[in-house]
Chain A
Amino acid sequence: AQSVAQPEDQVNVAEGNPLTVKCTYSVSGNPYLFWYVQYPNRGLQFLLKYITGDNLVKGSYGFEAEFNKSQTSFHLKKPSALVSDSALYFCAVRDGGSSNTGKLIFGQGTTLQVKP
């Protein structure tokens, strides 16, 4: 069965410091991996995705993520955090197999708190 784990409920980081939000996944076929961000009382905004190719994926707002097949991880990173990055972050996986319907399996979410 497909699953996504975000082991940290909350990540705290000082403004200007690098941040990492962790995600590991389990899928039977080739994974399609996504990161979304959710601001309070808002919908989800797409940040970035990995389908194939370069393991380091660059996305919106200076975020990037590294696909690591051996560790089945897709951690979200940013070199220098901003207070405005404070939000709820979701990792999601989709099985890239041909029979897959395209539905996303989401992690529980990680709250990122960036302090000035």
Chain B
Amino acid sequence: NAGVMQNPRHLVRRRGQEARLRCSPMKGHSHVYWYRQLPEEGLKFMVYLQKENIIDESGMPKERFSAEFPKEGPSILRIQQVVRGDSAAYFCASSPVGTKAFFGQGTRLTVV
């Protein structure tokens, strides 16, 4: 059973471009969470999704950021018109119905 898969591992974008981060949860997991880790900081919750539904997006910036978890395929975190302040590590976690979340290796976004 493969773990949580995130790709790409590293992503470089110029200011104003779009960034798409993908997360494939563990097999059998229907809950996906996205977290952001800014340099020298802890992880901050962004959004919680179940298949085809956004359950809690209280940690998402109001503009430029969106997330989806379609019926088929990976969850996508999309950042439009990236700015330097978006540079961070973005982690996806998945869990079954329960308490323990499994984290992916993360995507490190660098905006130049």
Contacts and interface: CB of A to CB of B under 8 A. Distances in A.
Interface residues of A, number: 23
Interface residues of B, number: 26
Contacts of A109: 41-42
A43 B104 contact: yes
A102 interface: yes
Contacts of B6: 43
Nearest to B58: A103
Contacts of A105: 45
Interface in A57-116: 90, 92, 94, 101-109
Interface string B62-97: 000000000000000000000000000001010100
B99 interface: yes
Given A90-B43, A108-B41, A108-B42, A43 B100 contact: no
Contacts of B99: 32, 49, 51, 94, 102
Given A44-B91, A108-B41, A109-B42, A102 B33 contact: yes
